[in-house]
Chains A and B, each alone.
Chain A
Amino acid sequence: MTTSPATATTTGATDTQAVPRSRFDWKPLALLVALAALALPLVGNPSTWLTLTAAGLAMGLIVFITASGLTLVFGLMDVLNFGHGVFIALGAFVATSVMGAASGWQGGAAQLGAMFLAMLAAMTLAGAVGLAFERVMVRPVYGQHLKQILITMGGMIIGEEIIKVIWGPQQIPLPLPEVVRGAWFIGDAAIERYRVLAMAIGLVVFALLVYTLNRTKIGLLIRAGVQDREMVESLGYRIRRLFVGVFVAGSALAGLGGVMWGLFQQNVVPQIGAQVNVLIFIVIIIGGLGSTLGCFIGALMVGVLANYTGYLAPKVALFSNIGLMVAILLWRPQGLYPVTNR
């Protein structure tokens, strides 16, 4: 016999004591604004400050693109993927090939087309490699953090060596297409065109992630899976498929981030993944493991702080990210937006 609503009755279930209304936590966002405001008198010149802030936000958004996949993978799958950097490197190297092949394309639209084609190719290839990486490297070590660290780091070393075999060990230039070179000026402040483009792409990725996570059933399942995987399965959903989907999406985003980072640096080395890896782990720890919004705010903080300190005290810039992480963890030990079960 199944349950039926045919004869609805009201019981005495009147447990309606006041429940505190949920409010958006503005403090981390306010901290980012305060950080920028504090830098203004220290930098002195408003134009320089604006240039640094725009550069910092652009850097932060590129870091967010690369880190967003990692935080989802950790949040949902509880997998410490130290091999995430290999997808970043792969994306960057694919961009050198695609954009190198399209170097003869003339005109702004064609150049932009080549760049977006490179991004698409990087995402596709990184996603496909991610699918194989999850199957071969990650799946055998679900639930075993130490083994995950060892095997994914090993995977990254292997990935780097394969990249060296295909593209060579040397640094490869990845010049910006003519159409995104140069800067726009707001007063005396120079805002580089590529950074504006990076900000736009970063915001689109953030908006898509927020929409998917908050407005779709897949997003609902991911958010639920981050909290209690077993219960999601008990409700009848195959979380393993969701795991694979998120891993592939995270790898594809890392590939996109690799293209963006390579263009940001205007050159690519096989170690690019390992270099960015440290930064993105700092970002996801600051943001709260598994939190997309936390990752977003954390990446912006890291980006602007790196630019301010790079201008004000270049030697401090080397450890400013670590300092920021320590300060945030002293304030909120589980990160800016802690996910409940972690």
Chain B
Amino acid sequence: MTQPLLELRGVHTHIGAYHILHGVDFVVPEGEVTMLLGRNGAGKSTTLRTIMGLWKASAGELRFRGERLDGLATPDVAARGIAYVPENMGIFSDLTVQENMVLAARAARHAGELDCTRLDWIFGLFPALRKFWLYPAGKLSGGQKQMLAVARAICEPRALILIDEPSKGLAPSIIQNLITAFTELKRQRTTIVLVEQNFTMARALGDSVAVMDDGRIVHRGAMRELAEDDALQQRLLGLSLGAHQ
């Protein structure tokens, strides 16, 4: 068996007095989209933040390509090729779309040094960004902001992209646009960990799935198996994907 790209073993995370993650075991195979599902408060976002080093794991191991991640500062985690799109998108509202992209491209000192081929590819995925290139990001709609957040994550080659609930609060047509863009990333075998509550998106994109509850992984397997098993969905998620068509 090949080594997983990312591996979490018995990870515990405390936030102040609260014990949020209770020994998370989780693997992310390379070149796949891994869905992280679960009810609100199950610990999905905390898992992503712990991987990024934004919250420190109080116990357990996080390994990326076999190298320990726990204990590394967030910039060092990012430097290993891990991109993060937080739930609130983390857009710099007072900066233009262009400036947001320049910041995401660490090698570029200014817009003239952005990789044009890659930028054209991103504009192909998200045409709105080309149109509003010089506009303040804070003026964009929610969907456009989410596109910018994802565009920042892919504006340089990344080994792993962590995306936290990209569909949250978006209109169905925008969600469909995101699904199309993620499908393109998936087609190129980009490794993605996607936290989602939108089951249409989960089913369309997921190769494998991990379901969390109360700070633990309670189910791991193929996304297709979960999507086809109503009883399992009811047990793990308290609802049926079939009811969300």
Q: A5, B121: Cβ atoms under 8 Å?
A: yes
Bound-complex Cα distance A217 to B109 (A): 6
The one of B92, B120, B161, B178 that contacts A8, using a Cβ cutoff of 8 Å? B120
Partner of A19, one of B108, B141, B173: B141
Question: Do A228 and B92 contact each other (CB < 8 Å), given the known contacts A9-B184, A15-B174, A234-B52?
Answer: yes
At the interface, yes or no: B126 with Cβ under 8 Å from chain A?
yes
A66–B95 CA distance with the chains assembled, in angstroms: 26
CB contact list, B150-182 vs A, under 8 A: 152, 154, 157-159, 161, 173-174, 176-178, 180-181
Beta-carbon contact of B95 and A15 below 8 Å: no
A235 and B78 within 8 A (CB)? yes
B86–A2 CB distance below 8 A: no
Residue of B nearest to A219 (CB): B99
Please determine whether A20 and B78 come into contact, CB atoms closer than 8 angstroms.
no
Please indicate the chain A residues that have their CB under 8 angstroms from the CB of B127 in the complex: 10, 13-14, 16
Contact partner of B159 among A2, A16, A236, CB < 8 A?
A2
A17 to B143, CA, bound (A): 10
In the bound complex, residues from chain A placing their C-beta under 8 Å from that of B125 are 8-11, 13
- Residue from B75, B106, B157 having most chain A Cβ neighbours under 10 A: B75
Contact A22 B135 (CB under 8 A): yes
Within the complex, what minimum Cβ distance (angstroms) separates A339 from chain B?
Answer: 7
Residues of A within 8 A of B139 (CB): 19-20, 22
Q: How many residues of B contact A (CB 8 A)?
A: 68
In the complex, what residues of B have CB within 8 A of residue A231's CB?
Answer: 86, 90, 92
Does the CB pair B120–A220 fall under 8 Å? no
Chain A CB within 8 A of B147 CB: yes
CB < 8 Å neighbour of B128 from A16, A220, A234: A16
A279 to chain B, nearest CB (A): 27
Q: Is the CB of A236 within 8 A of B94?
A: no
Q: How far is the CB of B215 from chain A (nearest CB, A)?
A: 22
B245 within 8 A of A: no
User: A4 near B157 (CB under 8 angstroms)?
Assistant: yes
Residues of A contacting B104 in the complex (Cβ-Cβ under 8 angstroms): 235
B185 at the interface (CB under 8 A from A): yes
Q: Are A13 and B128 in contact (CB under 8 A)?
A: yes
Classify the interface of chain B: helix, strand, loop or mixed.
Answer: helix
Could you tell me the distance between the alpha carbons of A12 and B115 in the complex, rounded to whole angstroms?
Answer: 23
CA distance in complex: A263, B161 (Å)? 56
Residue of A nearest to B121 (CB): A5
- Find the B residue at minimum CB distance from A240: B73
Residues from chain B with a CB closer than 8 A to the CB of A234 are 52, 54, 74, 78, 84, 86, 90
Known: A4-B157, A228-B92, A233-B78. A15 touches B84 (CB 8 A): no
- Tell me whether B124 is interfacial, beta carbon within 8 Å: yes
CB distance from A88 to the nearest CB of B (A): 29
Is there a chain B Cβ closer than 8 Å to A21's Cβ? yes
Q: How far is the CB of B125 from chain A (nearest CB, A)?
A: 6
Q: What is the CB-to-nearest-CB distance from B234 to chain A, in angstroms, rounded to a whole number?
A: 33
CB neighbours of B99 from chain A (8 A) = 220, 223-224
Q: Which of A173-231 contact B (CB under 8 A)?
A: 216-217, 220-221, 223-224, 226-228, 230-231
A12-B180, A233-B78, A238-B75 in contact; A1/B189 too (CB < 8 A)?
A: yes
Q: Which residue of A lies closest to B84 (CB)?
A: A234
Knowing A238-B75, A340-B94 touch, does A15 contact B158 (C-beta < 8 A)? no
Residue of B nearest to A234 (CB): B84
Check B103 against A11 for contact (C-beta < 8 Å).
no
Taking A13-B126, A230-B54 as contacts, is the C-beta distance between A340 and B93 under 8 angstroms? yes
Which of A6, A7, A230, A234 is packed against the most chain B CB atoms within 10 Å? Answer: A234
Which listed residue, A2, A10, A12, A16, touches B190 by the CB 8 Å rule?
A2
A232 located at the interface, meaning its Cβ lies under 8 Å from any Cβ of chain B in the complex: yes
Across the two chains, which residue of chain A brings its CB closest to B81?
A: A2
- Inter-chain CA distance A239–B180, complex, in Å, is 35
Q: Are B144 and A15 in contact (CB under 8 A)?
A: yes
- B188, A4: Cβ atoms under 8 Å? yes
Decide: B103 and A1 in contact? CB cutoff 8 A.
no
Q: Which residues of chain A are near B108, meaning CB under 8 Å?
A: 217
Q: How far is the CB of A238 from chain B (nearest CB, A)?
A: 5
Q: A22-B135, A220-B102, A235-B103 are in contact. Are A11 and B94 (CB under 8 A)?
A: no
CB distance from B84 to the nearest CB of A (A): 5
**B152 contacts which chain A residues (CB < 8 A)?**
235
> For the complex, is A3 an interface residue (Cβ under 8 Å from B)?
yes
In the complex, B117 has a CB within 8 A of chain A: yes
Instruction: For the complex formed, measure the closest distance between the CB of B138 and the CB atoms of chain A, giving whole angstroms.
Output: 6
6 residue pairs, one from A and one from B, having the closest CB atoms: A5-B121, A231-B90, A11-B180, A236-B78, A2-B157, A1-B189
28 residue pairs of the A-B complex, CB under 8 angstroms, read: A1-B31, A2-B81, A3-B185, A3-B188, A3-B190, A4-B157, A5-B115, A7-B188, A8-B120, A10-B125, A11-B125, A11-B184, A12-B177, A13-B147, A13-B181, A15-B128, A19-B144, A22-B139, A217-B110, A220-B95, A220-B102, A223-B94, A227-B93, A231-B90, A234-B52, A236-B78, A239-B75, A341-B93
| B residues lining the A interface (CB < 8 Å) | 30-31, 52, 54, 73-75, 78-79, 81, 84, 86, 90, 92-95, 99, 102-104, 106, 108-110, 115, 117-118, 120-122, 124-128, 131-132, 135-136, 138-141, 143-144, 147, 152, 154, 157-159, 161, 173-174, 176-178, 180-181, 183-185, 187-191
